[in-house]
Homo-oligomer: A and B are copies of this chain.
Amino acid sequence: MAMTIYDISQKAGVSTATVSRVINGSGNVSPVTRQKVTAIIEEYGYIPNAYARGMGLRSSKTVGLLCADSSDLYTARAVYLLQQELQANGYESLLCCTGFNQDVRQDYLHLILSKKVDSIILAGSHFIATSELDNAYIREAADQIPIMLLNASYDHPHVYSALCDDYAAMHEAASSMIRSGIPDILYLYNSKSYSGLRKLNGFQKALDENNIPPSMRHILYYDGTPDSIESISDFVTRAAENGHTFHGIIGSDDALAAGGIKYAQQKGLRIPEEISVIGYNNSILTTCCTPALTSVDNCLEVLTHQLVHTLLHVLAGEEMPQKVVFSGKLIRRDTTLF
């Protein structure tokens, strides 16, 4: 029973062109005619077909939103903020969770591309591979529409990015902990993405600068699902049993740090007197655990806002900076002495 513009034009006794003009408010319609057409549209609850629209037009007013896992605390917030910003500016969001498989990503990118979205936002640095060959799909996509990177960067025409300087932020976090008198820190991470490695590098740099001997360096890759804090604390416990000794824990993610807190509690260690903990992302977990977790805020709101801002201007044909970098900030709570 879907009405078409033709049905409306007939019932209103005008041409389809006039109906179109009324719908799109493109002037040159007499008030009387406008009134008449509007009434018919209302009466029949007519809604224009976006597909027919998108075909002739350049823009479909839709943006593809790709991420690995939208249920992840941090990503969920990013997706929400992006979607809100886009919506506020008249754009819809086509959400697509690709998981962490490289091939799958490529397929979904094609699928999204076929929907004729005006742009694609890649949320998270998992999308950028270290091998140039694996990034070909991004270059191809950028050939057709602007590609936006949240918390990643890639140097290529029509690829724009907004990111937090995770390297510096993690470097600051580690330096602070070392300065507070804790040289033996356990570093927990669960992602080897661009951003994940940058954080790791920042951590290591801080150790280097402070001449921390290799024997005091404990860097552990946690390869499990991030939704069980307990399995993380078990992981840390096993690490401690294996001879690692540490008086500080830094997680590349709040969940990892929360696992560290659990470990300390089970072991009866007082926080922060006997062991300090720092997380990353400043998520809701920071205030949920006890004591409240010191964490790095990587200003997600600012990033998403900037990214959409850039996108809108790019779509408007303006020249925009391809890369915008913001600084993270250590939010001090109760798991650290400083």
- Which A residues are closer than 8 A to B by beta carbons? 1-2, 45, 47-52, 54-55, 60, 62, 65, 69-71, 73, 76-77, 79-81, 83-84, 87, 92-97, 108, 110-116, 140, 143-144, 227-230, 255, 258, 261-262, 265, 284-285, 287-290, 292
Contact = CB atoms under 8 A, between A and B. Distances in A.
Q: How many copies does the complex hold?
A: 2
Contacts of A69: 80
Contacts of A288: 229, 255, 258, 285, 288-289
Contacts of A265: 290
Contacts of A110: 47
B289 A116 contact: no
B96 A93 contact: yes
A70 B76 CA distance: 7
A48 B111 CA distance: 9
Contacts of A262: 287, 290
A202 B71 CA distance: 29
B229 A50 contact: no
Contact of A50 (B116, B140, B143, B227): B116
Of the listed residues A73, A80, A230, A288, the one surrounded by the most CB atoms of chain B closer than 10 A to its CB is A288
Contact of A79 (B71, B92, B229): B71
